[in-house]
Every structure is written in C-alpha cells, then in structure tokens.
Amino acid sequence: MPDQIFYFVLNMSILGSVAGLIVLLLRRVRALPRFGVYLLWALPLIRFWVPFGFANRYCLLSLIARFTTKTVVVREALPGSWIPEISFSNSLQAAENYFPAITYKTDLLQDIFTVCGFIWAAVAAGAVLCAVLLYCFTRSALKNAEHVRDNIYRSDRVISPAVYGIFRPRIILPADIAGGDVDYILMHENIHIRRLDNFWRIFAVVTACVHWFNPLAWIFLRRFFADMELACDAGVLKRLDEGGKKEYAAALLGCSAGKTYYASAFGGAKTRLRIKSILSYKRLTLMSGLCFAALFIAVAAAVITNAVGG
C-alpha cells in the first residue's frame, strides 16, 4: 500500500512543482497585487494534494502530454452532463494499470516503489510528528503570557509580535514593545487572524513534510510565507495615508527579528523587501482588480486541469 500511495504522491509532486514554478515566475511581475500573488499559491497547493482533475484540451499539460505524461481517464464525460471528463495525469508512466490498484510494468519497478514507499512513509510521518511537537512546544512556552485585553497578551519569551493558534488565536507582544508601534502591529496581526493565515501556515508545512523529498516544496514554502506577509502588509496599507505608511515601515524595522513557521510574526519576512514594498505601495484600482481576476482564472484553468484522455 505505501508504494501505491507514494506513486500518486510522486506524480502530484511533479505537477505541484510545475505549478509552483509558474507562480515563482508570476510573483516577479511587480504590477500584480501582493494579495493576488498570495492567492496564486493555492494552485500548486491543489496540485500537491489532489491527484485528479477536470480534463481541458487547452491546459498546460495538453501541450506536453504527448511527450512526458499519460492521461488516465477516471470518469468519462457523460452525454448531456455539464461535468467534464475527470482524469489522472501520470508523469511517471511506470505502471500498466492504475485503478483500482497499480500494476507496475516490471517486477523491478514494483520492488523499487515498494522500498521507496516505505522510506517515504516513514520520513513523512516523522516530519509531520516533529512539526506537531514543535508546534506544541511553541504553544506551551506561552502559557504564562500576561493578559492585556481581549486576545492580546504580553510575554518576555517572544522577541517579535505574532499570532499564535488557529481556533482561538492570541496576539502575543514582546514585554518591551514600543507603545507607539502597537496600533500598527495589531492592525497587521488582526488581518492574519481574519484570513486564517495560521491555518494555511500549518497546512503548508504539512504539505512540505509529505513532499519532503522534493526540494522545490521547501523553496515554495519559504516564498509562500514571504508572500503571506507582503499580502498582510498590503491589507494594512489600504487603511493608511502617506504618513502612516512611513510610521508602519518604522514599526516593522523595530520588530524585524521574529521568525517562526507556526505563527504569523510581524517581523517574520525579509525586512528589506517588505520596506521596499511598503514604500512603493499603490492602491489597487477596479480595472487592475478585474485584470488580475481574469489572469487568475486563466492561470488556474491552465495549471490545475489535465489533458484530455485518449
């Protein structure tokens, strides 16, 4: 069984890598809104977890299907139905049959995937367990935080403000935080809470643990965290005037040391990049928003759909 799961995971990892590389290219386009770039990371995330997809003859995989992938039809399009064909893109092409069980082309391939499957399962389980333990240790270290008001706490065990928790998130401030920075910090952290960013952080970490053998998954994880902070900064800047932008940038400089995988830290991304983004921020116009929405739909249709079988 681990070998068959690993076969699907390996295929998903290949397609997720392709989608992630496309996002890496798009995030270099400065005209794209920061929150829009953050949303684009949903596309490789889907590819890393979902082995199946709707068939689309105009998708990216249709261009390369003849040479590098085989499309396996899971459910054919029914006459008169609005639901299109559902297929599985097999980039490995190491099996003869795929459903309900995988039959490999040779006994050697079966032996290889059996061994690799057990290794993958053991390391993935260990990585997820380590991630869970680190998260628990991080939470337990903040039990003695001093309550200020609402969901705001102070602690001498943190060096940068951050949101901890998912279902009952708490904003933890360093004990020596400058009073003039608190309002900007709370604006930033409350945007993280509204967007459920800590949930997506943990989901992204688990995704990287499942695809631990893929170095691109770890690169995508770091870029995803950076874009999360840039998108949150943009959410704050929408509410500020020019003077407020400069004060917000100054507050960020004072809290630039924090970094964690399990909490949304105010100073958790590259400070120089964030300061540059803050000072060059421009509000999104209606036309720009519509253009990005069209771009997102086009990229999603090209990336997360499969070639037509046959």
Q: How far apart are CA 195 and CA 40, in angstroms?
A: 15
Is there a cis peptide before residue 100, judged by omega within 30 degrees of 0?
yes
**pLDDT for the residue 217:** 96
**178-198 per-position pLDDT tens digit:** 677 788 889 999 999 999 999
Cβ neighbours of 304 (radius 10 Å): 22
Pair 178, 267: CB distance under 8 Å: no
In a domain, 260, yes or no: yes
In a domain, 308, yes or no: no
In sequence order, the β-bridge partners of residue 54 are 86
Match 């540059």 to its residue by tokens.
276
**267-291 per-position pLDDT tens digit:** 555 777 787 788 777 777 888 888 8
In a domain, 113, yes or no: yes
Match 């995971």 to its residue by tokens.
9
- Range scoring the smallest mean pLDDT among 134-148, 223-237, 292-306: 134-148
Q: Please report which confidence band the pLDDT of residue 260 belongs to, taking 50, 70 and 90 as the band edges.
A: low
Number of folded domains in the chain? 1
Q: Which of 255, 256, 257 is nearest to 178 (CA)?
A: 255
Q: Which of 272, 36, 267 is nearest to 163 (CA)?
A: 267
What angle (nearest 5°) sits at the alpha carbon of residue 121, between those of residues 69 and 12? 25
In a domain, 309, yes or no: no
Q: How far apart are CA 106 and CA 110, in angstroms?
A: 7
Q: Please report which confidence band the pLDDT of residue 72 belongs to, taking 50, 70 and 90 as the band edges.
A: low
In a domain, 127, yes or no: yes
Interval 84-89 mean pLDDT? 73
Q: Please report which confidence band the pLDDT of residue 256 belongs to, taking 50, 70 and 90 as the band edges.
A: low
Pair 89, 66: CB distance under 8 Å: no
In a domain, 259, yes or no: yes
Q: Which domain holds residue 66?
A: 2-303
Rg (CA), the chain: 22
In a domain, 12, yes or no: yes
Return the beta strands (E) in the chain as ranges.
52-54, 70-75, 86-90, 95-97, 103-104, 146-149, 152-155, 162-164, 170-174, 264-265
**pLDDT for the residue 1:** 76
In a domain, 18, yes or no: yes
**pLDDT for the residue 215:** 96
- Range scoring the smallest mean pLDDT among 25-29, 66-70, 87-91, 109-113: 66-70
